Amino acid sequence: MAANIIDGKAFAATVREKVAGHVARLKEEHNITPGLAVVLVGEDPASQVYVRSKGKQTVEAGMNSFEHKLDADTSEADLLAVVEQLNNDPAVHGILVQLPLPGHLNEDLIINSIAPEKDVDGFHISNVGLLGTGQKSMVPCTPLGCLMMLRDYHGSLSGMDAVVIGRSNIVGKPMAQLLLGDSCTVTIAHSRTKDLPDVVRRADIVVAAVGRPEMVPGDWIKEGATVIDVGINRIQRDGKNKLVGDVDFASAAERAGAITPVPGGVGPMTIACLLANTVTACCRANGLAEPEGLTA
């Protein structure tokens, strides 16, 4: 069986179009322009690329982008002051502090200083608690993107057996909460899980978020299962740099019913969902109806 390929690049483009449409309506009908502020501390090359890309896509969607670039040796007090200023700025509806932060800064403290309603990354402890208790929250972008693709492919996920491999706060745990919220029977696997191949073989939905190149081989995948590969791993193959996921794509695609490729699967959905969260935050801040299909 050759799996259907879930095209995250194309799907992300439709999400961005929906966002742009909603932004245009907000401007026309309410004279409101959603704004996203991104704070970058230091000069980590990967973070610089992400921040540039986020800013560009924010502007392309018709929103305001505010970039705050701070020196690597910025003090905690100075960073907290920047966040506080953004919390109080009515033109800013979403705030993202790019992680990782330099070692001398306490990430939890900084993230929890963002106003929860502007926390478009969904990492604030209040949003974690709201998601965990099934209440309206800001949902972390990568798991939100995975959920959107699964809903789009399957319609209802109710009653399906889902395995999430990985229990990080930014992907694995929120992913599991979202699948539970959609009435899947959810197993969370991690580095201490016994008989991982057998656990994965039971799943109708496999979400791999580990960070180990191609660790899930095709023979772990149940015939017809849907595989969402969150992993982004840089490897050398045949003397070339290559990006691969946590799943061995070639062998998994022989058994799966549907699978996301790497690159071009989950990756592009993450920034699209950041834009979606910013519009959602803007609507909530102004007491307006939220855009349909852009939240969990």
| Least distance (Å) between residue 30 CB and ligand NDP | 31
Backbone angles phi, psi at 40, to 5 degrees: -120, 125
Angle at 77 (CA atoms; ends 275, 47), nearest 5 degrees: 40
What kind and span of H or E run contains 154?
A: helix 141-154
Half-sphere exposure of 275 (CA within 13 A, CB side): 30
Q: Is 122 in the site for ligand NDP (CB under 6 A)?
A: no
Residue with smaller CB distance to ligand NDP, 32 or 101: 101
87 C-beta neighbours (distance < 10 Å), count: 17
Q: Is 171 in the site for ligand NDP (CB under 6 A)?
A: yes
Q: Quick check: is 236 catalytic? A: no
Query: What CA–CA distance (Å, rounded) separates 275 from 269?
Result: 10
> Do residues 156 and 132 make contact, with C-beta atoms less than 8 angstroms apart?
no
The only residue of 47, 64, 185, 233 in contact with ligand NDP, by rule CB under 6 A: 233
Burial of 202 (0-12, 13-18, 19+ CB in 10 A): middle
Which stretch in 93-101, 170-178, 198-206, 288-296 sits in contact with ligand NDP by CB under 6 A?
170-178
| Least distance (Å) between residue 267 CB and ligand NDP | 4
Q: Is 194 in the site for ligand NDP (CB under 6 A)?
A: no
Residue count of the chain, please give it: 296
Residue type, 160: M
Q: Is 6 in the site for ligand NDP (CB under 6 A)?
A: no
Q: Quick check: is 222 catalytic? A: no
**Interaction residues for ligand NDP, span 124-163 (CB under 6 A):** 142
Judged by CB under 6 A, the number of residues near ligand NDP is 25
Q: Is 174 in the site for ligand NDP (CB under 6 A)?
A: no
Q: Quick check: is 121 catalytic? A: yes
Binding site for ligand NDP (CB under 6 A): 142, 165-168, 170-172, 189-193, 196, 209-212, 230-233, 266-267, 270
* Residues with active-site annotation: 54, 98, 121
